[in-house]
């Protein structure tokens, strides 16, 4: 089969690494890809949002299956366009992707179908929003309604922080149109975890649990990011919690989407908080999570191509998982998640028991340079979480005394002694 992966980040590099294990793959393409992906697949200089260009390429190269990584093309209707042309694509339609594309839609949907989530209200007027914050008190969560690359969420611990977030989103338009409406939610207390599942209409095939570290710095300090590291599976999430999440969250969600006339096909991601009253939804994504994909896919025993084909054909893929742990540590450019310099040379890594996944990188000759905020991820699997973390941190010694990049030294509660 000829397969096309749409995207340019670490998630797409991980997907491609997994696809390469399949003997079903003849040719593997990425659009537009990155410096690391270029070593494993043929990178095509077509932007993720250039749907017409991607369709023309898929027809010309007889692409048998297209897999979409990022959220923006999904909300732009790439799946609808491919389906109209009779091209096979593993991705939700624009109508189904609204579950991620609008926080307000997702909250109203969960309310309607009795899916557990935080209490909320949405606002377009900053003064009304501030009155609500005064009423509810802090801590409180302020979210941009639309897509903001994982950065449109502020967990405010003071009223001033909350008011500043409101002003930034609604007045200063920090997130452009994505922040023209905001959702303000109660602050949930508990342990966060992520659950992804392969979905086709009413069929749900869950993956192992994962936990992402959102804050930029050690000890969960600093601004929210798209994710500074992750591990899977999560030891403190019990079988009962997982079963509740499958039945009362994932299954209810896909059932509700069918009722809404928005049947879901692709990857459904639930970001969950395990509260004292059970799991509640923090957010939905309608694609593979990043960086969770980088720690979940290495544990999948199945052929990923076969899994996707089975799911599309309504066949149970009978997922099997390694009885191991996987830990991934993100290396980010100095300044991330705010503006950061590009073009910084990335040192050569010599991983003994880890794999280096490229995210924001570009290849110039034989060198790799940074081309985004999150630059790469070092991931490793091992029988225990501690061993996996130790292996994942080991190659990052190459960054010792390098001020161009930074990473957290406490992913998976492991304390890296040498940084």
pLDDT, tens only, 207-229 = 999 999 999 999 999 988 889 99
How far CA 79 is from CA of 88, 92, 213, 260, 352, in Å, comes to 9, 6, 30, 18, 39
* 8-state DSSP, 86: T
d(CA 231, CA 414) in angstroms, rounded, equals 11
For the domain made up of 325-413, give the CATH fold. 3.90.600
In terms of DSSP H, where are the helices of 3-158?
10-19, 51-60, 71-75, 78-84, 94-101, 103-112, 126-136
Question: Of residues 270 and 419, which shows the higher confidence score?
Answer: 270
N residues, the chain? 419
pLDDT at 150: 66
- To the nearest 10°, report the CA torsion of 340, 345, 347, 353: 60
CATH superfamily of this structure's domain 119-186? ATP-grasp fold, A domain (3.30.1490.20)
- Find out whether 195 and 233 touch, Cβ atoms under 8 Å: no
Domain ranges of the chain: 2-93, 119-186, 191-312, 325-413
For the domain made up of 2-93, give the CATH fold. Rossmann fold (3.40.50)
- To the nearest 10°, report the CA torsion of 215, 221, 222, 224: 20
The CA-CA-CA angle for residues 288, 293, 295, to 5°, reads 165
- Find out whether 152 and 225 touch, Cβ atoms under 8 Å: no
Burial of 276 (0-12, 13-18, 19+ CB in 10 A): exposed
d(CA 195, CA 28) in angstroms, rounded, equals 27
d(CA 52, CA 84) in angstroms, rounded, equals 12
Q: Yes or no: is domain 191-312 CATH 3.90.650.10?
A: no
The string of pLDDT tens digits covering residues 63-82 is: 999 999 999 999 999 999 99
The stretch 134-138 carries a mean pLDDT of 93
The stretch 47-67 carries a mean pLDDT of 98
Arithmetic mean of pLDDT over the chain? 95
The string of pLDDT tens digits covering residues 391-401 is: 999 999 999 88
- Find out whether 170 and 132 touch, Cβ atoms under 8 Å: no
At residue 402, the 3 state secondary structure works out as coil
**Sign of the CA dihedral 225, 283, 195, 9?**
negative
d(CA 358, CA 381) in angstroms, rounded, equals 17
List of long-range contacts for 44-48, beta carbons under 8 Å, 24+ apart: 44/4, 48/6, 48/7, 48/8, 48/72, 48/73
What proportion of the chain, given as a percentage, has pLDDT over 70?
Answer: 99
Cβ-Cβ contacts under 8 Å for 381 (sequence gap 6 or more): 298, 299, 322, 324, 325, 326, 388
The string of pLDDT tens digits covering residues 404-415 is: 999 999 999 888
């Amino acid at each position: 089969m000829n397969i096309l992966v749409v995207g340019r980040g670490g998630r797409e590099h991980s997907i491609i690494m997994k696809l390469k294990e399949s003997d079903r793959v003849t040719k593997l393409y990425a659009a537009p890809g990155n410096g690391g992906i270029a070593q494993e697949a043929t990178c095509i200089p077509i932007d993720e949002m250039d749907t017409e260009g991607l369709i023309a390429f898929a027809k010309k190269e007889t692409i048998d299956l297209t897999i979409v990584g990022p959220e923006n093309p999904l909300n732009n209707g790439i799946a609808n366009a491919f389906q109209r042309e009779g091209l096979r694509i593993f991705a939700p339609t624009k109508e189904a992707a609204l579950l991620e594309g609008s926080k307000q839609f997702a909250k109203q949907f969960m309310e309607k179908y009795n899916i557990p989530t935080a209490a909320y209200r949405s606002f377009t007027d900053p003064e009304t929003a501030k009155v609500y914050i005064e009423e509810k008190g802090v801590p409180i969560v302020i979210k941009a309604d639309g897509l903001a690359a994982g950065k449109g969420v502020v967990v405010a611990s003071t009223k001033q922080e909350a008011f500043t977030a409101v002003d930034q989103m609604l007045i200063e338009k920090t997130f452009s149109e994505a922040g023209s409406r905001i959702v303000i939610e109660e602050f949930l207390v508990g342990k966060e975890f992520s659950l992804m599942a392969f979905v086709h209409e009413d069929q749900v095939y869950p993956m192992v649990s994962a936990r992402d570290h959102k804050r930029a710095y050690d000890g969960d300090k600093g601004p929210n990011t798209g994710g500074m590291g992750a591990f899977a599976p999560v030891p403190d999430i019990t079988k009962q919690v997982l079963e509740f999440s499958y039945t009362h969250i994932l299954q209810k969600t896909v059932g509700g989407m069918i009722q809404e006339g928005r049947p879901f096909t692709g990857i459904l991601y639930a970001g969950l908080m395990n509260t004292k009253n059970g799991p509640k939804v923090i957010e939905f994504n309608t694609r593979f999570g990043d960086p969770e994909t980088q720690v979940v896919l290495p544990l999948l025993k199945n052929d990923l191509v076969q899994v996707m084909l089975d799911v599309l054909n309504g066949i149970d893929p009978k997922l099997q998982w390694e009885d191991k742990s996987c830990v991934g540590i993100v290396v980010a450019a100095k300044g991330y998640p705010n503006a950061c310099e590009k073009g910084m040379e990335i040192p050569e890594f010599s991983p003994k028991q880890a794999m280096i996944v490229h995210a924001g990188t570009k290849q110039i000759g034989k060198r790799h340079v940074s081309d985004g905020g999150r630059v790469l991820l070092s991931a490793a699997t091992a029988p225990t979480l501690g061993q996996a973390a130790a292996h994942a941190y080991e190659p990052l010694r190459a960054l010792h005394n390098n001020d161009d990049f930074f990473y957290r030294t406490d992913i998976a509660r492991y304390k890296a002694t040498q940084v």
